[in-house]
Amino acid sequence: MNIKKIDDYIYEIEKEGQMLVPGRIYSSKKLLEKVKEDNSLKQVKNVATLPGIQKYSIAMPDIHEGYGFPIGGVAAVDTKEGYISPGGVGYDINCGVRLLKTNLLYEDISDKIRELLAYLYSNIPTGVGSKNAIEKLSEKEFRNVLKKGAKWAIEKGYGDEEDLYFTENNGCIKINDFKGISSRAIERGKIQLGTLGSGNHFLEIDYIDEIYSYEFAEIIGLEKGQIVILFHTGSRGFGHQVCDDALILMRHAKNKFSYIPPDNQLISAPFYSDEGQKYFNAMNAAANFAWANRQIIKGIIEYCFIKFLKISKKSLGLQQIYDVCHNIAKLEYYNEKELLVHRKGATRAFGPGNYEVPEKFREIGQPVIIPGDMGTNSYLLVGTKKTEKETFGSTCHGAGRILSRKKASKMYKKENIFEKMSKHGIFLMAKDKRTVAEEVPEAYKNIDEVIKVVVEVGIAKKVARFKPIAVMKG
């Protein structure tokens, strides 16, 4: 494949064959060499064949091989002639991160971190197949969760009304019907609300160790040494089933459509087809589930901190900075044109002045939360106007894997990772040692290098860096 260097951090796969647009890769030379070791660049080419695709098939610096789309892939399609692809969203619909700030400083809890982590671990269900943090829901009540999203959880006492203003889409996307949602998806979802899950899902207690923009940090309300909580989870078994059901539906209907994808994993349907709309509504329902899920976990975190530390809610001062989703297809307007923007392992990053950015942040841009891998730094950035012009308001979502879970597990299964992290001042709790081996820092790209790329090309600006002191895994 012919890859042309545009500048130090932008590369292009020239249009050829079925491709309707070029592939654009945001990467350093060093990161690109790793990308070439899997099939993600081939997937960038495949995505460029999607009917209705605009400008480029885009890859962020955390790109790695995924299902159909590369993880770290972005594709915007014209809704009139474009196709929607479940592979362009992924199995964990609205897998996303939420960042919370507190009034606490590192020295306030430095001698209590291990016990505080254990208390959180005992109250937030983690791991594969983990069950509800709340009582089992009836199907009728579960449908209310899917309709209301984060608001449902707030009505049940988890968090505060203002959390909605600091959540992408205010924590809910309207769904028109439940036709694309199977009884199997409902059964899986009913028992998993308020759970962290496994794999790359996590909860961290961090402190701010570096501030890059004191002006922006002041607007957001951050200072050096401040304790923040960062957690990452999504729509759990419900979203997985929605994706599975949509793939089956579209494969059965593929003879109705003119587009034959170069890879069966890229199976898609016209956005306004019956199949496309069934998936779109079900996907939005899964996104709402994920927001409700994270809202419940936020409420549990607040309860745990207050009870364990024996302080008041006011003294804790837990406030949500922002909640962003990574895996979703959103209706957005660019140059007065309605587009469906697939973000697969990519973060929305709207710039200053955008009406969808909360008023508190509108002069600086949308907060963008980029977690590192287990045990490494995480970052808070903000979006830029350039992001909206060049990448359909999108940037990276994390470090990005360089080792598959299977390979990482095989290479590091004999290491005492708990002890290794402890030596670096990080307490780790996890249900499954195999999951920990799969998520070692060595399995991921260097987060600092990934952040450098998006900052150098101007599709995000750095605000602050977080250092983990406690990590909870499934």
* Residues catalogued as catalytic: 397
- Report CA Rg, the chain: 21
Residues 264, 35, 234, 390, CA torsion sign: negative
Residue 79: how many CB atoms within 10 A of its CB?
19
Contact 203, 450 (CB under 8 A): no
What contacts 60, CB < 8 A, 6 or more positions away? 26, 72, 73, 74, 345, 346, 394, 395, 396, 397, 400, 454
Cα distance between residue 344 and residue 328, in whole Å: 7
Contact 116, 205 (CB under 8 A): yes
What contacts 266, CB < 8 A, 6 or more positions away? 46, 47, 49, 50, 68, 69, 85, 87
Contact 240, 188 (CB under 8 A): yes
Q: Is 408 helix (H, G, I), strand (E, B) or coil?
A: helix
E strand or H helix at 448, and its extent?
A: helix 447-456
